[in-house]
């Protein structure tokens, strides 16, 4: 413990944080966050990712101080801030609904926190103007929030937090109210800003693409617990659990039979062909396992020596074609990228399926 206290470089640290709510029926309780340990490095962009109800938003609100943990503690620079009220924490939050103050102008919205810090009028003016410029909101200072477009409102919300230069920036699904095109645009804008300013950020989303695009590290949560923590690439290519694999990207799970164990590798039979594959979890003999195959790692080609599948459905999606094929009663999704010049395989056709050994990722069943 003494080590953590001195380790200022930790930035933000959650120790066995637990949050229990009374259930809606009144009887019993719901564990929204269950003994979560988490360390966020200074300047890091960390995303809490998971389906709704997984506890990611509660975790964020615990960090912000809007909720009080039932157990555990939160440290900022080694200092225990568990009992500190949210307004005393050097953090700023960007809300899903933007939460702009409707009765204030854009300028007043952004200046709000600076006023509370008792900055001089001229200081506030210069800081707000600078932020307005930075966020591409020049000239909109006198507008009311309801006179702005959704994207502009989102920028104001972001500006309002950024102008505070907080130690930690918290994002609660800030892009989910925007239409698809705007979302992508704002995503890259947040990415650019964060990389430039290097403000420690915790970002909550259920959108895996957004998470991968923005994050230094992703924490996948499920049922109040952390399923896996890692860089986007680790999470994508070597998911630790079937849940993570399923939640991120398009994954097919195929039965795998262990033939023999060779050190940290296993010889497995997948779709009646043998492969030697590294195993990344504690394997003990006799344990049932599955092979995860990403849809884009699979190819279909007319080769009789390959395992044969029947094309059930073919959907042309522009940049790719998605096939649902059937083998031995199982459905597998196969994605063919950049389908230019090829005519899609007809539904009902028998065809061979192929993939490299590297495409196989073994998981406990």
Partner 1 sequence: MLTQRRFGAGFRRILQDPVLAISLLLVVLFIFIAIVLPILAMIGVSLSEEGRALFGHYLGERAYQDIIVNTLTMGLSVATVGTVIGFLFAYVQVKVKAPFKRFMHLIALVPIISPPFAVATAIILLFGRNGMISKGIFGVRYDIYGLTGLTLALSLSLFTIAYLNFKGMLQALDPSLEEAATNLGASKWHIFRTVTVPMLLPGFAASFLLLFVEAIADLGNPLVLGGNYEVLATRVYISIIGLHDNVAAAVFSVILLVPSLTVFIIQRYWVGRTSVVSVTGKPAGTPQQITHPVVRWGLTGLVLGICALIISIYAVMFVGSVTRVFGVNNTFTLEHFDFVINGYGSDAMVDTTTFAIIATPLAGVLGMLIAFLIVRKAFAGRNIIDFGTMLGIAVPGTIIGIGYLLVFNNPITLTLPFVGDNVPAITLIPKLTGGRAVLGGALAIVIVYVIRSVPAALRSGAALLSQIDPAIEEASISLGANNAVTFRKITLPLIRPAFLAGLIYAFARSMTTISAIVFLTTPQTRIMTQQILNETEQGRYGNAFAYCVILIAIVLVAIGILYLTVGSTTGAERSLEGGA
For position 30 contacting partner 1 by CB under 8 A, the verdict is no
Q: Is 56 in the site for partner 1 (CB under 8 A)?
A: no
Binding residue for partner 1 (CB under 8 A) from 144, 167, 242, 265? 144
Neighbours of 331 (CB within 10 A): 12
> Is residue 208 part of the contact set for partner 1 (CB under 8 A)?
no
Task: Assign 3-class secondary structure to 317-350.
Answer: CCCEEEEEEEECCEEEEEEEECCCCCCCCCCCCE
Residue 142 touches partner 1, criterion: CB under 8 A: no
Token pair 């690439």: residue: 233
Q: Does 52 bind partner 1 (CB under 8 A)?
A: no
Q: Nearest approach, Cβ of 219 to partner 1 (angstroms)? A: 21
How many residues sit close enough to partner 1 to count as binding (CB under 8 A)?
40
Closest CA to 266 of 245, 291, 233: 291
Give the phi and the psi of residue 166 in degrees, each rounded to 5: -75, 160
Q: Interface with partner 1 by CB under 8 A: which range of 82-90, 183-191, 280-288, 307-315? A: 82-90
By CB under 8 A, tell whether 95 contacts partner 1: yes
**Is the torsion defined by CA of 197, 235, 330, 304 positive or negative?**
positive
220 forms bridges with which residues in the sheet? 49, 228
With CB under 8 A as the contact rule, which of the stretches 90-98, 133-141, 187-195, 264-272 interacts with partner 1? 90-98
Shortest Å, Cβ 76 to partner 1: 15
83 binds partner 1 (CB under 8 A): yes
Angle at 240 between CA 237 and CA 244, to 5 degrees: 75
Instruction: Between 92 and 279, name the residue whose CB sits nearer to partner 1.
Output: 92
Considering only the stretches 43-51, 63-71, 183-191, 302-310, report the one whose residues sit in contact with partner 1 under the rule CB under 8 A: 63-71
Count helices and strands (H / E) in the chain.
Answer: 9, 20
Of 100, 199, 235, 251, which one interacts with partner 1 (CB under 8 A)? 100
Nearer to partner 1, 95 or 253 (CB): 95
Binding part of the chain for partner 1, among 125-133, 140-148, 196-204, 232-240 by CB under 8 A, reads: 140-148
Of 22 and 288, the one with the shorter C-beta distance to partner 1 is: 22
Q: Is 85 a residue that touches partner 1 (CB under 8 A)? A: yes
Segment interacting with partner 1, rule: CB under 8 A, options 99-107, 126-134, 269-277, 293-301: 99-107
| Cβ atoms of 265 and 254 closer than 8 Å | no
Q: Which of 52, 50, 16 is nearest to 33 (CA)?
A: 16
Among 35, 99, 119, 193, binds partner 1 (CB under 8 A): 99
Provide the minimum distance between the beta carbon of 57 and partner 1 in the complex, in angstroms, as a whole number: 11
Identify the residue whose tokens are 């809007």: 66
The residue to which tokens 């497995």 are assigned: 268
Residue 146 interacts with partner 1 (CB under 8 A): yes or no: yes
Describe the chain by its helix, strand, coil percentages, rounded to 5. 30, 35, 35
**Is residue 102 within the footprint of partner 1 (CB under 8 A)?**
yes
CA 132 – CA 139 distance, rounded (Å): 8
Looking at residues 156 to 185 of the shown chain, list those that interact with partner 1 (rule: CB under 8 A): 157, 160-161, 164, 170
SS3 209: helix
Min dist CB 19 to partner 1, Å, is 9
State the CB neighbour count (10 A cutoff) for residue 116.
10
For Cα atoms 323, 325, 327, give the angle at the middle one, nearest 5 degrees.
Answer: 165
The three-class DSSP label of residue 296 is helix
Q: Classify each residue of 217-244 as buried b or exposed e, where b means 16 or more C-beta atoms within 10 Å of its C-beta.
A: bbbbbbebebbbbbebeebbbbbbebbb
Integer Cα distance of 80 and 305 in angstroms: 63
Figure out which of the listed residues 1, 26, 103, 343 binds partner 1, where binding follows CB under 8 A.
Answer: 103
Between CA 94 and CA 189 the distance in angstroms is 14
User: Does 256 participate in binding partner 1 (rule CB under 8 A)?
Assistant: no
Q: How far is the CB of 41 from partner 1 (least distance, A)?
A: 22
Residues forming the site for partner 1 (CB under 8 A): 18, 20, 22, 29, 64, 66-71, 83, 85-87, 91-93, 95-103, 112-113, 116-117, 144-146, 153, 157, 160-161, 164, 170
């Amino acid at each position: 413990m003494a080590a953590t206290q001195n380790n200022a470089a930790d930035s933000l640290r959650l120790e066995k944080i637990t949050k229990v709510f009374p259930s809606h029926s009144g009887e019993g309780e719901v564990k929204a966050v269950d003994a979560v340990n988490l360390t966020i490095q200074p300047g890091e962009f960390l995303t809490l990712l998971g389906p709704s109800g997984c506890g990611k938003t509660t975790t964020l609100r615990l960090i912000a101080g809007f909720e009080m943990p039932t157990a555990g503690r939160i440290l900022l620079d080694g200092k225990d801030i568990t009992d500190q009220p949210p307004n005393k924490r050097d953090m700023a939050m960007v809300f899903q609904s933007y939460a702009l103050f409707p009765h204030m102008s854009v300028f007043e919205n952004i200046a709000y926190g600076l006023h509370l810090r008792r900055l001089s009028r001229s200081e506030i003016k210069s800081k707000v103007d600078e932020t307005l410029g930075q966020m591409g909101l020049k000239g909109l200072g006198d507008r009311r929030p309801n006179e702005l477009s959704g994207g502009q409102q989102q920028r104001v919300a972001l500006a309002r937090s950024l102008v505070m230069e907080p130690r930690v920036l918290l994002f609660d699904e800030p892009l989910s109210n925007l239409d698809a095109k705007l979302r992508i645009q704002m995503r890259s804008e947040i990415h650019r800003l964060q990389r430039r300013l290097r403000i420690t950020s915790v970002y909550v989303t259920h959108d895996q693409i957004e998470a991968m695009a923005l994050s230094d590290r992703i924490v996948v949560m499920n049922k109040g617990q952390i399923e896996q923590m890692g860089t986007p690439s680790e999470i994508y290519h070597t998911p630790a659990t079937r849940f993570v694999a399923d939640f991120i990207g398009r994954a097919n799970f195929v039965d795998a039979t262990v033939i023999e164990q060779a050190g940290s590798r296993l010889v497995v039979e997948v779709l009646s062909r043998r492969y030697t594959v590294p195993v990344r979890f504690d394997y003990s003999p006799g344990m049932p396992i599955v092979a995860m195959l990403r849809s884009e790692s699979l190819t279909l080609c007319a080769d009789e020596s390959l395992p044969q599948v029947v094309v059930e459905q073919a959907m042309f999606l522009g940049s790719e074609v998605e096939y649902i094929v059937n083998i031995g009663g199982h459905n597998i999704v196969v994605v063919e990228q950049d389908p230019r010049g090829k005519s899609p395989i007809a539904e009902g056709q028998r065809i061979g399926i192929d993939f490299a050994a590297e495409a196989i990722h073994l998981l406990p069943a």
